[in-house]
Structure formats: C-alpha cells, structure tokens
Amino acid sequence: MPVRIGTIGVGIFGINHLRAFRQMEYAGKSELVCCAAATETRLKQRAEEFGIRGYTDYREMLSKEKLDAVSICTPDHLHRQMALDAFAAGLHVLVEKPLDTSVEGCLEIIEAGRKAGKFLQVDFHKRYDPYHQEAARLARLGEFGRLQYGYVHMEDKLEVPRDWFPGWAAQSSPAWFLGVHFYDLVRWIMRSNAVQVYATGKKGKLTSMGIDTCDSIQAKFEFENGVSVSFDTSWILPDAFEAVVNQTLRLVGTEGILEVDSQYRGARISSSAGGTRTLNMGYLRETVDPYGRTIYLGYGVESIANFVENLLYLEKGVSLEALEGLYPGGLDGLEATRMASAVHESIEKGVIVPIRR
Ligand SMILES: NC(=O)c1ccc[n+]([C@@H]2O[C@H](COP(=O)([O-])OP(=O)(O)OC[C@H]3O[C@@H](n4cnc5c(N)ncnc54)[C@H](O)[C@@H]3O)[C@@H](O)[C@H]2O)c1
C-alpha cells in the first residue's frame, strides 16, 4: 500500500518534500494527499501545482485527512509542537533538520514517537551525498588510520537569512540552520559523539538589517574518539558568491587525509544572464523520466524519499530495531541539537561547555 502523506510547511525547502513524495507516487510507493502552510498565497500556489488539498491550519489537516505520515518543513523553532501533534494523530513523522532547537524538545518528540509506536526520521541529507558516503566507508575501513583532527565550513549567502526567511532567521542561527548538517555528518562518519565545545559568535551584519542573530559561529568540538573538529558556519557571504552554499569537509588521520569540497565539484558556468555560478548536481537536478514526467534526482530529495522507503520496509514486518542506525533518527536529531545548544551556551558564557547526556 502506498504511504499516504501530507507536508506541513511548503516554503522554499518544502517544495522538495512535495517533489519527493510526488515522484514516489509514480512508482506506487506514496500518495501525496495534502499540505499545510501559514501563508495563504504560497499554500494556494503549492496546492494547485501539485493538485492536492491545502490547509492553513495544520491541526485541521491532521484531523480531517486519512494519512499514514507527515513531513514537517516549517521554521526551525516550530517543529516540536507539530511533531507532537502528528504523533498524537497516530502518524509517522519526518522532520526537517534541526529536530528541535532545544534538547528537552527533542526528548519530548522522541518519547512521543516511542509511546505512539510510530517512526521518526530527521532530514539530515548530508548522509545521502555519495561523496560523504564514500568518506564514511573509507574512514570506517581505517583508510586514514586513526583520525586526529578535522575541519568543516558551511557558509550561506546573505540572501538566505535576508531574503528567504527574514521573518524567522532571528530564531535560528548559523549553528541551527547550517551547523547541525555537519555536526550530524561528522559524528555519523566517525560513529562518535561530541563531548565538549568551545565556540565564539559574531554579530553585526544581520543585526544592522534588523535580524538579531549571529552572522558567523566558529566551534571547536572534541569527540569521544579523541578527534577535534572545527566547524566554521556563517550566512553572510556576498550576493556575488558563486553558489548559495560554500561547504567543505576535511578529516586528517595517522595514515591519510580526506577532503571533500561539496561546493565546487568541478563544474562552473558563467553567463550574461546568471553571472558565474557552480553546479552541485549531486544535490538536486531536474530531469525527465522515460514517460516525460519531470523528476528530481540527488541527495536533496533522496533523503526525503528514504523516509517513505523505510515506512514501506517497516510495513513488510521489519522491526524498528532492525532499522536502527541505518537512517538519521530521533537520537541523531537529539545529538545534533545537543551540539548546537552547547555551541550557543559556549558563545554566551565564553567557556568550554561539556555536552551533557
Ligand atoms: N535540508 C536542507 O538542506 C534544508 C534547506 C533549507 C531549509 N531547511 C529546513 O526546512 C525548514 C523550512 O525552511 P524553509 O527555508 O523552507 O522556510 P520557509 O520560511 O521558506 O517555509 C516555512 C514554511 O512553514 C510554514 N509555516 C510557518 N508556520 C506555520 C504554521 N504555524 N503552520 C503551518 N505552516 C507553517 C510557512 O507558511 C512556510 O510554508 C527549516 O527547518 C529549515 O532549517 C532544510
């Protein structure tokens, strides 16, 4: 039976949820039924484009529609109540990163899912990037020896907080919006949790535009396996920068080094109309299937599709325990949130902060 699904939050990123569920419908795996959003014009636009019912009140959607699952793609700080309501309605839940912007919120969501006996997945799509998958495979095989240190940067263009969601950027930060992607990735690659962090944050550019949040955050984590990794995150790159996201991962061990430039992947174009930009086709690429239907490929939709695949797998009688560790779940969301929370605590207090469990 296809998974009957609705999406709450159909803004800039939510369209990828709708795309993923729609194209899985072509293979009989899902049925995209409905969506909910706070802004009526966007809701109407998405509902019409996908030919689905739209609700301005997501609770009404949960009570009126017969669904198996929902995906949540609303502002970072709103995920918690929506996930709790979805579990209360007896549904499986996919939540965009971060799972929640508080540790207690994550714990509450995980507990609600457990009590309801429902499945919880967090959309950490960096794990689905083939370059990262190969990095994890080689690191776990010991190709780089004993890892010692690493470095990550993930930086967005200023247009992201300024133009994409100025209404809620102040309730997020480079750690919440960007950092969690790589906090999760690094701990997943190394299979090791963070134990402490020292972080600094700078403000100025966004506050001058009326958006009270950090422009940039530098965080140095120590992990249980003894590895130190620095994460530089910011969202103030100039409009002229060649990609929306600039991102790199480096890990160095006793026997080797791994470097993944996830921004410049070897393809750069320049045109009078579009200026100079790089192409990350691994993330998202629009193409046409053999039957002439527009579809999207890449880790940006594969991680969302994986939620449906997991639900179908569970439907076949596979236990939740058997899936443990094979997808980003609630506990992974919790760990990333523990890390981001500790980053902000360290910025506020100016001290090294232990990751409490
Ligand atoms: N995986 C990724 O790479 C990635 C990229 C961008 C954003 N995100 C995440 O996706 C989420 C959404 O980001 P976005 O850029 O699409 O934001 P956005 O502001 O463009 O969209 C937010 C959506 O949530 C809806 N919404 C807000 N309040 C609501 C409510 N009370 N009830 C129902 N709907 C409500 C809005 O109407 C809108 O449709 C965030 O958590 C963000 O961190 C993930």
**pLDDT for position 135:** 97
**pLDDT for position 237:** 98
Count how many Cα atoms sit within 13 Å of the Cα of residue 142 in the half-sphere of its side chain.
0
Domain boundaries, the chain: 3-125+287-328, 127-282+337-354
Rounded to whole angstroms, how far apart are CA atoms 99 and 108?
11
Ligand 1 in reach of 82 Cβ (< 6 A) = no
Rounded to whole angstroms, how far apart are CA atoms 300 and 3?
20
> CA-CA distances (angstroms) from residue 355 to 49, 112, 191, 203, 339?
44, 23, 16, 24, 7
Regarding the domain delimited by 127-282+337-354, which CATH topology (the fold level of the hierarchy) does it fall under?
A: Dihydrodipicolinate Reductase; domain 2 (3.30.360)
Ligand 1 in reach of 42 Cβ (< 6 A) = yes
**pLDDT for position 162:** 98
- Mark out the alpha helices in 52-154 (DSSP H runs): 58-64, 79-88, 103-116, 130-141
Question: How much distance in Å is there from the Cα of 123 to the middle of ligand 1?
Answer: 13
**pLDDT for position 188:** 98
DSSP, residue by residue, 12-61: TTHHHHHHHHHHHHHTTSEEEEEEE-S-HHHHHHHHHHHT-EEESSHHHH
**pLDDT for position 85:** 98
**pLDDT for position 307:** 98
Ligand 1 in reach of 83 Cβ (< 6 A) = no
Question: For the chain, which ranges sit under pLDDT 50?
Answer: none
**pLDDT for position 4:** 98
Cross-strand pairs, 221: 197, 229
C-alpha 181: how far from chain center: 6
Nearest protein Cα to ligand 1, atom 8? 13
Contact (CB, 8 A) for 35 and 17:
no
pTM here? Answer: 0.97
Regarding the domain delimited by 3-125+287-328, which CATH topology (the fold level of the hierarchy) does it fall under?
A: Rossmann fold (3.40.50)
